[in-house]
Amino acid sequence: MGVVQALAFQVKPGGMGTFTKGVSLSKPDLERLGAKVRAWQTDFAGANVGGASLTMRYDSYAALAAASKKSAQDAQVAKHAERTARSEVTTLVGTFLLRELPGLEPSSPPATAGPRVRTLALWAVERGRMQDALALLAEAKQHSERLGANSGASSVVSGGAASGQIVTVTEFADIAAFGAYQEKVLADDAFQAFVATRFGSGSPLTRLSSTMGTELAA
């Protein structure tokens, strides 16, 4: 069951290239310590458009703990952190710790020239109905993957106001695959019926926000 550290950044106009270069410099050292590093640009998200995020996935809490201990004594990692803190084009606006939910671990799309596309949604869970929410998400995962998406869900362990909520991720090999999925969704009676009946009144989940972005070639 994976654990993900996620950092959210505001990026000044024209600064995405600088952000991507910084990720490219730090990625080898972070992965040397056990993380799987990915970076994303937010393309559609209201006021957050043009922002960026960095995710570092570990196979377990133990792997995260080991990496954290090593990074505290690693000169190269310290240098990357100092560069990020002093950056004139990016501002760190949020830090999050997520735990992949059992049975809802994200699957990965096939290798592609990309860039990969993903959508994120943040959900509030009605008090006392977590098991109902997990069952609903498992059913949603089956539908979305039947139509060609790769999806998963994680709980927000730590993240300010988002703590205790759920993040769902739907990922596609590229923008063409995303478009093909959208067409299938609109034409699929079973999926439309599922959404209408399970995410309406009485649902254990309430969607708070959603974003769409592309992976950066870092």
DSSP per position, 89-148: SEEEEEEEEEEEPTT-PPP-PPP-SS--EEEEEEEEEPTT-HHHHHHHHHHHHHHHHHTT
- pLDDT at res. 107: 76
pLDDT of 52: 94
Which bin fits 83, alpha (ψ -120 to 50), beta or left (φ > 0)?
A: alpha
The whole-angstrom separation of Cα 61 and Cα 99 is 9
Nearest to 163 by CA among 93, 107, 94, 68: 94
Yes or no: say if 20 and 218 are a contact pair by the CB < 8 Å rule.
yes
- Common-topology check for domains 3-98 and 103-211: yes
Q: Are 174 and 112 in contact (CB under 8 A)?
A: yes
Rounded Cα distance between 157 and 155, Å, is 6
- The pLDDT score that the predictor gives to residue 154 is 97
pLDDT at 171: 94
Amino acid at 38: R
pLDDT at 113: 66
- pLDDT one digit per residue (tens) for the chain, 218 residues: 799 999 999 999 999 999 999 999 999 999 999 999 999 999 997 767 789 999 999 999 999 999 999 998 889 988 988 888 888 999 999 999 999 999 999 876 666 667 999 999 999 999 999 999 999 999 999 999 999 999 999 999 998 888 999 999 999 999 999 999 999 999 999 999 999 999 988 999 999 999 999 999 87
Give me the architecture of the 103-211 domain, per CATH.
Answer: 2-Layer Sandwich (3.30)
pLDDT of residue 48: 72
Instruction: Give the number of other CB atoms < 10 A from CB of residue 20.
Output: 17
**pLDDT at position 17:** 94
Fold of 3-98: Alpha-Beta Plaits (3.30.70)
Is residue 14 left, alpha or beta, with left meaning phi > 0 and alpha meaning psi from -120 to 50? left
Q: Domain coordinates of the chain in residue numbers?
A: 3-98, 103-211
Q: Give me the numbers of helices (H) and strands (E) for the chain, helices first please.
A: 6, 8
Residue % of the chain over a pLDDT of 90: 80
